[in-house]
């Protein structure tokens, strides 16, 4: 056990065991003898740009990666609200031990218990092979979600020993972590394990069909050069190599993600999440895709003719109208930046908003936020990009790598105060501090250095994506 400014930090607590491609089995450590001072292994993965930026590239990897970390003000009977963080990383990367996810600041400032978890990734967590008729793959397309469920079961059984309230658990996550939050809302196995949900920039377009999952399974077996039965004995690095080949094909974004049409996930995920009455706070950043398009020559070299082709692929004969609307909302932007804004809405904002709209129709409590603070770093080119909101949610402005991404301006503290207070208030009593989203006002909290609510932000752009809404 480590202490950080009076906060007790318990790292590397095992919550499950599992065989390769097998469902997780519950595991309870001796909670009176916790002295682990290091994080547990992360799931094997190919370290990329985001992982290096977030500071996780030096962590050990192992298929035995079933570990969580607890940050608590005290191991007493106070029954504090519990916040369980599900990391992002496109369902192929990440770990709960990333420095940006360190829970001390959130626990200290807001008297909460923070839990960060690992789960299986890529082929180890989302390789759908149950349609191949091979034994031992019944749950293989959703193992990562089953791992998350098992971690929540551990929380339900044990968090009272860490000063947390098992009857007041909020799940929260960003990107694939935000999509995982929605998957946990969709699976019947999550019922009763959490009481509120926060989805930050959920990558909902990663959700795949069962047919797509089956196709990926065929591609991976071909890349590995083995049968499904032989995949159990393949070395870890060989599985990763085959996974990398699959990710090199077209459609990589949907290669590994939760699989619907199975007992653990019977319905399409967005549909099921819209039907779940658990209160949901959901939102995105303003410029999600700039993180990916700024270094992409296809966007940087795009001219007006290229932008028109790009918009026509998405809006047809309304392409000119769409470009004009985006130029009005993004004055002075290059054609590539306009295309990036279109892609941001296609991939993140429009799907999140459609879910909020459907939940509103279903009468389920939903709140929306919109993170618009722009980083001055990199010449301001990244704007309010994907993942920029994470250190503000955790109020982790001093963590490794954060200043290089956000700068060191004083206004950062105001943004972090606002966002961390909103999410912890929501976790405490279900009220983030503004009105619910509905189809009349569409109230949305704009998270910035001057936070304030907006009714129906950028309605012209919304109508481009949801003309009947």
- Active-site residues, by number, are 175, 288, 386
Phi, psi of 53 (to 5 degrees): -65, -40
Q: How far is CA 353 from CA 79, 123, 260, 319, in A?
A: 34, 30, 21, 21
Q: Could you tell me which residues come within 8 angstroms of residue 114 by beta carbon, excluding any fewer than 6 positions away?
A: 70, 71, 72, 82, 83, 85, 103, 106, 107
Contact of 424 with 198, CB cutoff 8 Å: no
Closest CA to 276 of 185, 191, 177: 185
Q: Alpha-carbon distance 141 to 122, whole Å?
A: 10
- The tokens describing 84, both together, are 């369980």
Q: Does an H or E element contain 172, and which?
A: strand 164-174
Containing 83, the helix (H) or strand (E) segment is strand 80-86
Long-range contacts of the stretch 355-360 (C-beta < 8 A, 24+): 355/182, 355/204, 355/270, 355/273, 355/274, 355/282, 356/280, 356/282, 356/437, 357/439, 357/466, 357/469, 358/270, 358/274, 359/273, 359/274, 359/280, 360/436, 360/437, 360/438, 360/439
User: Which residues neighbour 397 within 8 Å (Cβ) at sequence distance 6 or greater?
Assistant: 391, 403, 406, 412, 413, 416
């Amino acid at each position: 056990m480590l202490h950080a400014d009076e906060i007790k930090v318990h790292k590397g607590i095992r919550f499950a065991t599992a065989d390769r491609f097998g469902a997780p089995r519950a595991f309870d450590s001796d909670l009176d003898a916790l002295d682990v001072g290091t994080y547990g292994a992360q799931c094997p993965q190919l370290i990329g740009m985001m992982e290096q930026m977030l500071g996780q590239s030096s962590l050990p990897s192992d298929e035995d990666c079933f570990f969580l970390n607890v940050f608590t003000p005290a191991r007493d009977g106070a029954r504090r609200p519990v916040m369980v963080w599900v990391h992002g990383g496109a369902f192929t990367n990440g770990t709960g031990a990333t420095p940006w996810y360190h829970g001390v600041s959130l626990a200290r400032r807001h008297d909460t218990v923070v839990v960060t978890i690992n789960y299986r990734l890529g082929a180890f967590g989302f390789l759908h092979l149950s349609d191949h008729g091979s034994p031992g793959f019944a749950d293989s397309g959703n193992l990562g979600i089953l791992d998350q469920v098992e971690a929540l079961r551990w929380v339900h059984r044990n968090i009272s020993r860490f000063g947390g309230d098992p009857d007041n658990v909020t799940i929260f996550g960003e990107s694939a972590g935000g999509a995982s939050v929605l998957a946990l809302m969709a699976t019947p196995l999550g019922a009763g394990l959490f009481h509120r949900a926060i989805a930050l920039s959920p990558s909902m377009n990663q959700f795949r069909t069962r047919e797509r999952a089956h196709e990926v399974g065929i591609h991976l077996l071909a890349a590995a050069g083995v049968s499904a039965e032989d995949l159990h004995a393949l070395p870890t690095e060989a599985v990763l190599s085959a996974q990398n080949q699959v990710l090199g094909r077209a459609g990589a974004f949907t290669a590994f993600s939760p699989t619907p049409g199975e007992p653990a996930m019977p319905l399409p995920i967005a549909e099921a999440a819209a039907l779940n009455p658990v209160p949901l706070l959901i939102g995105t950043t303003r410029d999600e895709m700039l993180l990916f398009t700024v270094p992409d020559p296809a966007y940087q070299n795009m001219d007006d003719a290229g932008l028109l082709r790009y918009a026509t692929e998405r809006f047809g004969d309304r392409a000119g109208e769409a470009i004009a609307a985006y130029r009005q909302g993004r004055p002075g932007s290059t054609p590539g930046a306009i295309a990036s804004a279109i892609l941001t809405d296609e991939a993140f904002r429009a799907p999140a908003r459609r879910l909020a709209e459907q939940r509103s129709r279903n009468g389920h409590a939903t709140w929306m936020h919109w993170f618009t603070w722009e980083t001055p770093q990199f010449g301001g080119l990244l704007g309010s990009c994907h993942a920029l909101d994470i250190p503000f949610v955790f109020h982790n402005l001093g963590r490794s790598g954060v200043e290089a991404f956000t700068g060191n301006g004083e206004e950062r503290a105001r943004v972090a105060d606002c966002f961390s207070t909103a999410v912890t208030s929501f976790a405490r009593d279900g009220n983030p501090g503004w009105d619910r989203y509905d189809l009349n006002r569409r109230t949305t909290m704009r998270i910035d250095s001057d936070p304030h609510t907006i009714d129906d932000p950028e309605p012209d752009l919304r109508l481009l994506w949801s003309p009947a809404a």
